[in-house]
Structure 1
C-alpha cells in the first residue's frame, strides 16, 4: 500500500532521529526495508513523495500510442488504438490502453494549449448580444435575446417568438433604450441576420444590420466563427438566463401559461441580476451603468425602420393584412404606409405622425378567417352583425318639416315603419299641424312616447297630448299589445256558491 505524505514524513523523521532503519521502522510502524527505500530515494536527490511507476505491459507499445495520438492531433479514440496494439501483439486489456491514451493526449495538449490574455473592457465601447432557446409556450418555441454591456456587466434579456432580422433590430433598439444610450461597437455572432457570408475569412455583414448600427451610431462587429470566447460575457448571460428562466427539474420553475408571463419573469430576472454585486467588479451592474451612461451616445428619437416591423399599405377599408389576417387602423391612414410588428401575443401597428413615428393600434394576434376589427376605429359605422337601424333623411318638404320636430319624430318614424303602420305620411302631416297649435317640443315629446309604447293608431298622438296636458308626464310607458286585454277574467267566480 502506498504511504501518505504524512506517513512518509514520519518515516524520514524517525530515521533522522535514530540513524537506524530498524529502529526507525519500529517508531514509524513499518518495515525497515520501507524505511531504507524512502531514505535511498531522498539521498539520491529524488522525490520520495512521488510514486515510482512499476513496469507495465504496455510500456513497449507507448511509442506507437504517442505516434497515433500525434498523427490524429489528439482526436483518436482509445478503442481504435487498442485494435492496432492487439494486431501488433499487445495482450493487455482495453482499460490499460485507455489509461495510456489518456496520458498521451494530456501530454500532447500540454504544449498546444490555447492561452488567453485577460480582456479589460473600457466604458462605453462594447455591447455583446446573442440568442438562446427559451421555454415552450402552448407547444410553441420561444427565443431569448440576451445583451451584455461589457464594462458595467449590465444584462438585458428580451423574450421573442422568432429570430428574424426585424425582431433582432427591434430587440437591439429595446436593449439600447433600456440601457439609456448606444456604445461604439455592437458584437454579435455569425447568424445570417448579422453575417451574410465569409470571403477569405472576412465576414460580410448584412446591409440592414449595418444600416441599423449606423442609425444608432454604432459599428457592428462579428465574433470569430466557432469561438465563443470572443463574446464570453454574453455567452455566460445566455447560460444563466436559460438556467433561471427555462423550466427544468433543477430550478423547479413551472410552465408558462402565456407569453406575457415569460416577459414579466425576464424583466424580474434582469432587475435581480443587475442589482446584486458582480463577482468580478464587486459592484452592482446598475451602479456601474450610471457611470457608463455618461460615455454612451445619445439615441435617436425614432427607432430604425427595420425595428418597426414589416411595411404594409392601409386599404380603403382602414385595414392592413398581416399573416393573411385583416387588422383595423384608426381613421386618417388610408393609402399610407404603416409598420406591423409582433410583440408577444399582440400585433403593434406604427405609422408616421406629426410628432414622428408612433404606435397607432394594437391587436391580439389572430388566425386567417378571424379578422380583428375595433369598433372605435369606425365611429360612423355601428358594429356587430345585426341589422342596422335606418337613418331618416328628408327628401320632400313635408318630410323635412316632420323630422325637424326633433329626436322623438325620428324615433316615431323608425318604429312606425318597423311595425307596419298604415297612413304614415298622413299621420306625419297631422303631427306637423298639431305642432303648429300646441308647440313642436310637446309634439316631439308625445311622438317619442308613442314610439316607445308602440302606439301608431290614427288618434293615438292626440290622445297622448291630451293626457300630457291633464295628467302630466307618465311615470311608466305602457306598451300597446293586441294580445293583452283589460277585461277581468272569470277566476274570482270559481268559488261562487261553494
Structure 2
C-alpha cells in the first residue's frame, strides 16, 4: 500500500504527463496503480482507501445483531462463535470476535445516554452521598459527602454509621457550615429516605418528612441504579476517598483516632474549596459567598432526630439503655425522654446523651463506650447515695434500748458491728450494761472504752468494766510546768551514811 506522500507524487506526475505509463515510469510503480488512484480521485472517493471486500461473517450479521440486541450488548464473542458454528459458520473465532466488536460498538452508539449540560441556579440544589472511609481500630467508618451544585462547595464529614440520627446530624451540620439550607436535597433511595417504591413512585420515610419540614427543604431521590443523576457528588466521593483513605497512591498513614480523621476531613475541605474549580474557573468558597444570600435560614436548634435515638429514663433509676449497655444521666431527668447517639469510633468512641427541654437541646451526659453488663456511671448523677459494699451495713436503731446504746457515740456503733461479726452472745445484755455505765462514769468514758474493746476484740462480760477502770486510772497523770518537774528529787540522798533510828512501839505510843 502506497503512503500518502507517494500517492500525491503519482497524482502530480499524472497531471504533468497525462499518461498512465509515463507516470508509472516516473514514480516507479505499475500503470495499474496509477490508474486506480486517478480513477478514485476523478470519482470523488477518498484516495488510498482500500476497496471493500466481503467477509465470511457478512451472511450472519443479522443473527449477530439479533443476539446483541437481546443481550443488551453483553453477549460474549466465544458464545456467539459457538452459536454460529451450529448455524453452519465456517470462519475463524478471530473473525467472529472482530464482527462482534463492530456490532457492539454500533449498538452502544445507538443506545448511549446523551447528557445535556446542567445549568444550576444558586441556592437550589444540594446533593449528598456516602463513601467507605478508613478503618480506625479495626472499625469501619463512613464518609458523608455533600456537594452544593452552584458553587461546587464540598463538605466531608466522617460518620460511624448510616443510621438516620447520624445522617440527619451530618445534614444539620452541613446547613450550618453553608450558612443556610437550599430548596432541594437530592440523594439515593436508602431506607432512611425511601421505605419502598409503588408503581415507580418512592414512598418517603416519615422521619425524613419531619426532618425536611423542620428545615424547610424538599428531599428528592434519584432513579434507582442511576448514579449519573447526581454525578457531581459522585465525583466528590471519589475525590474524597482518593485523598482521605490510606492507600499506596497517597501514602497516607493509618488513623489512630476518630479525631485525626475529623481533622483530615477539615483540612481536605479547606484545600478543595479554596482552589480554582476546573469548570467554573473560580474558587468554590468565593462562589459560596455569592450563593449564601439565596439559601434560606434554618432554625437555631436542630431537629430531635439528629440528636439520636429516643430513650425514656426510668422513674427510679437515672440510667438509659443504648445498644445493650447502660449509661447514667442526671437524677433530675427521672421519667424524662432523652436522645442517645454515638460519636467517633475506635478507642475514642463516645456516647452522647441530649435532653430537649423548654430551653432547647442540652447535652446532659457524655460517656465512653460501655460494654453490656458493665454500665458507665458518673457519681455526680447520683447525689445523696453511697456505694453498697458487701458487709457494709447501715446501723439503725429499731428499739428504744438500741437507740440508747447507739446514742453513746461512734465507739458504740463500732463495738456493735465488730461484736456482731465476732458472733458475741447476749449482746443486748452487754449493751444495756454499757448504757448503765455511761450514766455512772460518763458517756465519753464509756464510748472510748467501747471503741477500745472493738479494736482489741474484747467482747466478754467483764471486759467493758475492766477497760473502763483502766482508762479511769490512766487519767491521773503528772505533767511538767514551770513550778514542778518530773525529774527525781535529791532529798532522799540525805539519809545516806546516817545511822538508822529504830523506834519501839512504846516510843511510838
Report the TM-score range of the alignment, normalised by the length of the smaller protein: 0.7 to 0.9
> Taking structure 2 as the reference length, what is the TM-score of the superposition?
0.73
The match for 1:229 is 228
The alignment's C-alpha RMSD in Å is 4.1
| 1:332 counterpart SS class | helix
1:95–1:354 CA distance, 2 compared to 1 (3 A): same
Give the stretch that moved more between structures: 71-80 or 88-97: 71-80
The match for 1:64 is 63
1:232–1:459 CA distance, 2 compared to 1 (3 A): farther
| 1:247 counterpart SS class | coil
Write out per-residue CA displacement over residues 168-204 of structure 1, whole angstroms, 9 at most, x where no aligned residue: 2222112212222111111111112211222222111
Gaps of 5+ in 1: 404-409, 432-455, 471-498
The match for 1:371 is 375
1:51–1:458 CA distance, 2 compared to 1 (3 A): farther
1:163–1:390 CA distance, 2 compared to 1 (3 A): same
Contact 1:341 1:347 in 2 (8 A): yes
| 1:136 counterpart SS class | strand
Shift of residue 249 of structure 1? 2.8
Write out per-residue CA displacement over residues 122-164 of structure 1, whole angstroms, 9 at most, x where no aligned residue: 0111111122222233333322222111111111122222212
Contact 1:188 1:221 in 2 (8 A): yes
| 2:151 counterpart SS class | coil
Q: How many residues are treated as equivalent by the alignment?
A: 439
1:58–1:140 CA distance, 2 compared to 1 (3 A): same
Give the stretch that moved more between structures: 422-431 or 277-286: 422-431
> Taking structure 1 as the reference length, what is the TM-score of the superposition?
0.75
2:352 is equivalent to residue 348 of structure 1: yes
Write out per-residue CA displacement over residues 85-114 of structure 1, whole angstroms, 9 at most, x where no aligned residue: 212322222121111111112223333332
After superposition, residues 95-244 of structure 1 pair within 5 angstroms as 95-244=94-243
Shift of residue 462 of structure 1? 8.2
| 1:254 counterpart SS class | coil
Give the stretch that moved more between structures: 64-73 or 118-127: 64-73
**1: CA distance, partners of 2:133 / 2:292:** 30
Contact 2:406 2:412 in 1 (8 A): no
1:399–1:150 CA distance, 2 compared to 1 (3 A): same
Shift of residue 248 of structure 1? 2.6
**1: CA distance, partners of 2:321 / 2:476:** 57
After superposition, residues 49-88 of structure 1 pair within 5 angstroms as 50-88=49-87
The match for 2:286 is 287
Give the stretch that moved more between structures: 35-44 or 162-171: 35-44
| 2:225 counterpart SS class | coil
Contact 2:406 2:413 in 1 (8 A): no
Contact 1:133 1:142 in 2 (8 A): yes
After superposition, residues 27-46 of structure 1 pair within 5 angstroms as 34-46=33-45
Shift of residue 43 of structure 1? 2.3
1:148–1:13 CA distance, 2 compared to 1 (3 A): farther
The match for 2:501 is none
Give the stretch that moved more between structures: 372-381 or 141-150: 372-381
1:82–1:294 CA distance, 2 compared to 1 (3 A): same
1:391–1:97 CA distance, 2 compared to 1 (3 A): same
Structure showing greater radius of gyration is 2
**2: CA distance, partners of 1:331 / 1:19:** 111
Gaps of 5+ in 2: 420-430, 446-467, 483-509
Write out per-residue CA displacement over residues 7-47 of structure 1, whole angstroms, 9 at most, x where no aligned residue: 65565556556666677778878766555443332222111
1:28–1:247 CA distance, 2 compared to 1 (3 A): farther
The match for 1:325 is 325
Give the stretch that moved more between structures: 225-234 or 372-381: 372-381
